[in-house]
Amino acid sequence: MNVNGYPQRTIWPTADNSAVEIIDQTKLPHEFVTLLLESMRDAERAIRDMQVRGAPLIGVTAAYGVALSMRHHASDAALKATCDMLLAARPTAVNLRWGVERMRALLAPLPAEQRAAAAWQEAGVIAEEDVAINRAIGVHGCDLIRAIYQRTKSTVNILTHCNAGWLATVDWGTALAPIYAAVAENIPLHVWVDETRPRNQGASLTAWELGQHGVSHTVIVDNAGGHLMQHGKVDMVIVGCDRVTARGDVCNKIGTYLKALAARDNGVPFYVALPTPTIDWMLQDGVQEIPIEERAAAEVTHISGLADDGQIHTVRVTPLNSPVANYGFDVTPARLVTALITERGVVQADEKSLRELLL
Amino acid sequence: MNVNGYPQRTIWPTADNSAVEIIDQTKLPHEFVTLLLESMRDAERAIRDMQVRGAPLIGVTAAYGVALSMRHHASDAALKATCDMLLAARPTAVNLRWGVERMRALLAPLPAEQRAAAAWQEAGVIAEEDVAINRAIGVHGCDLIRAIYQRTKSTVNILTHCNAGWLATVDWGTALAPIYAAVAENIPLHVWVDETRPRNQGASLTAWELGQHGVSHTVIVDNAGGHLMQHGKVDMVIVGCDRVTARGDVCNKIGTYLKALAARDNGVPFYVALPTPTIDWMLQDGVQEIPIEERAAAEVTHISGLADDGQIHTVRVTPLNSPVANYGFDVTPARLVTALITERGVVQADEKSLRELLL
């Protein structure tokens, strides 16, 4: 999608293929800074510190991390150590595991001296596949937006939580791909952007990428969505996800479940956009089975932003001695999900439908 | 309740009765600063700028505002102008209207020269009545906490939203009064404190007052409550409110409705604590009939906190060109409310029960 009027991706190889570049997403929306990843440790750090975030982008970055590592040490032991270290960077992200295991499966049978070249090529393939998948999600999701517009003949109001936009993928995004596709068709729409505490990915990333691409949007606090739905100001909800169970329970950024409850209470359709590799067939009951990452208290106690002096400053919002808990995700039961938007089509959130989709 | 180990109220007359003092709540939790209100305009500004906030405290501050005004101009015209100006400071707060109209009803029949003394005395009476009402709410709500403790024999986990503590009243609070009463009885409890964006009254005020009084608590983002309830970590929700309709719909800080939905979905009792003057008998359907205050965008785009230099700084969290909407309150339908905790007892959220309570 566009930045300053020009097409941009979130991760791309340098011209000489010596490294990859990423957008440092921790600097957005105040600064647009790119970073060079020259080693597996650079990639691991970028994932852990959330300079790259979003399930698909994490997977692609991990694949490039494996590829960068193989250039220096390509033994079986090095391959194992590389995969282990990358997997530990974000324990909840199933796409991280998917990306790493795909690389491992490709590389393990190869002679060590062929691994570096094969890995680099495969990482590029994974990136292009991600773009193709997201474009397909956009096409299918756009059908839902268009149907609402054809019925109401007025601006379609879409609420989204967190950032499942192109910044979370290589390009297009998951939850925002249908929106970009609808904008390309000139369907009038407006996006309610949950700020998404504690890391403010909505306020900082979703608002920024929609603004850069010229999409009408309004930032709201996470508390506001229920009120908007009660007053008919939301036609549909589209969110992304980090993990979907075999029966369609959705693990996504903390607070998603609350929006799903409000959507159900007000008859607003609640859609989850995902590439099918996000489905974790090993799991059924998401609430009981998905381990929820607890993150650093500082994400809640402190907030960073742009001060009057033009610099990024961090301020403390809680009392010094008050304890904090910081759960990264929650699980929305399948019963609250109207449908899943995948690259293979729109499907009900139940095991039978999901399995049929992949036949 | 206690600050630094000593009992403290939110508003009190100076020793010479020349003015009233308040805690500047916009400075909490980082600085404990008191302010002198010497005129009606001081009181009006304190209400409008939320140096005092919380329905009961707003009512008492307005009453003192009328009293301070009468010392300078006590004509009928001055009384009307004073009441009009104070009423405009926070349009959603029914207690503001209640406090002002009570003063007007008392003062209007009196000769102008008697108004100043009568007003000062009445403001003090209103303040003491507030303390008595909140203490009674605490007694009745404590019965509910004690019942849970007697059943579970383990720490009672209570979730609250915004600040309906003693800082929102003259003392004790509404939603937190039962908690302070239970703490006084040594019932083991723990409070989950929603940070309550956009103004962070939970993170800044509720956490501060619980910490100062020695009450076990943990700050969470507003997004987290649903997840905690799904995992059995919340035994009850207690919130305050700004306005309750005749049939029991509850207008409270934006986001309350989302917590009520999660409580219902997980079988967690959802209680609303209120002094009965908060009931607005003129209204039935809260969602349709209660006008919701839209507040300044800066509350969402910017956040203030304590920086490393020990000073309060304000930082911007959203992109410069992203629009913002800022709804101050939402309405929780009575069907989601387990019961209302009032100074007259605990009562079902329906018109018949509410009317019987006041007989």
Find out whether the peptide bond into A323 is cis, omega within 30 degrees of 0.
Answer: no
Superfamily of domain B2-129: translation initiation factor eif-2b, domain 1 (1.20.120.420)
What the block records as the tokens of A141 is: 């999701």
pLDDT > 70 fraction of chain B, expressed in percent and rounded: 100
CA atoms of A98 and A88, how far apart (whole Å): 13
Instruction: Give me the residue from A30, A254, A322 closest to B223, CB to CB.
Output: A254
Tens digit of each residue's pLDDT (9 = 90 or more) over B189-224: 999 999 999 999 999 999 999 999 999 999 999 999
For residue B326, the chain A residue with the least C-alpha distance is A220
Burial of B104 (0-12, 13-18, 19+ CB in 10 A): middle
Domain spanning B152-358: CATH 3.40.50.10470: yes
CA atoms of B327 and A315, how far apart (whole Å): 24
For all residues of chain B together, what is the average pLDDT?
Answer: 96
pLDDT at A145 over 80: yes
pLDDT at A157 over 80: yes
Distance from CA of B92 to the nearest CA of A (A): 16
Overall pTM surpassing 0.90 (yes/no): yes
Say if the Cβ atoms of B221 and A197 lie within 8 Å: yes
Distance from CA of A80 to the nearest CA of B (A): 35
* ipTM exceeding 0.90, yes/no: yes
Average pLDDT over residues A140-165: 98
Average pLDDT over residues B255-262: 98
Of the candidates B340, B348, B354, the residue with the CA atom closest to the CA atom of residue B174: B340
Decide if B115 contacts B73 (C-beta within 8 A): no
Tens digit of each residue's pLDDT (9 = 90 or more) over A313-330: 999 999 999 999 999 999
Say if the Cβ atoms of B219 and A258 lie within 8 Å: no
Active site residue A242: yes
CA atoms of A230 and B254, how far apart (whole Å): 12
Say if the Cβ atoms of B303 and A326 lie within 8 Å: no
CA atoms of A224 and B311, how far apart (whole Å): 30
Instruction: Kindly name the residue from A130, A242, A249, A280 that is annotated as catalytic.
Output: A242
Average pLDDT over residues B67-83: 97
* Set of chain B residues whose Cβ sits within 8 Å of the Cβ of A198: 221, 223
For all residues of chain A together, what is the average pLDDT?
Answer: 96
Average pLDDT over residues B70-99: 92
Residue B231: φ, ψ to 5°: -105, 20
Instruction: Give me the residue from A207, A222, A331 closest to B197, CB to CB.
Output: A222
pLDDT at B301 over 80: yes
pLDDT tier at A278, thresholds 50, 70, 90 = confident
Instruction: Give me the residue from B255, B307, B322 closest to A315, CB to CB.
Output: B307
Say if the Cβ atoms of B322 and A255 lie within 8 Å: no
Distance from CA of B125 to the nearest CA of A (A): 33
pLDDT tier at A270, thresholds 50, 70, 90 = very high
Predicted local distance difference test score (pLDDT) of residue A277 = 83
Find out whether the peptide bond into A29 is cis, omega within 30 degrees of 0.
Answer: yes
Distance from CA of B327 to the nearest CA of A (A): 7
Instruction: Locate the domains of chain B by residue range.
Output: 2-129, 152-358
Decide if A295 contacts A326 (C-beta within 8 A): yes
- Identify the three-state secondary structure at position A252: strand
Average pLDDT over residues B281-288: 96
Decide if B189 contacts B155 (C-beta within 8 A): yes
For residue A230, the chain B residue with the least C-alpha distance is B287
Say if the Cβ atoms of B325 and A224 lie within 8 Å: yes
Instruction: Give me the residue from B30, B198, B261 closest to A258, CB to CB.
Output: B261
Instruction: Show Cβ contacts of residue A358 under 8 Å, excluding neighbours closer than 6 positions.
Output: A276, A344
* Set of chain A residues whose Cβ sits within 8 Å of the Cβ of B303: 303, 305, 315, 317
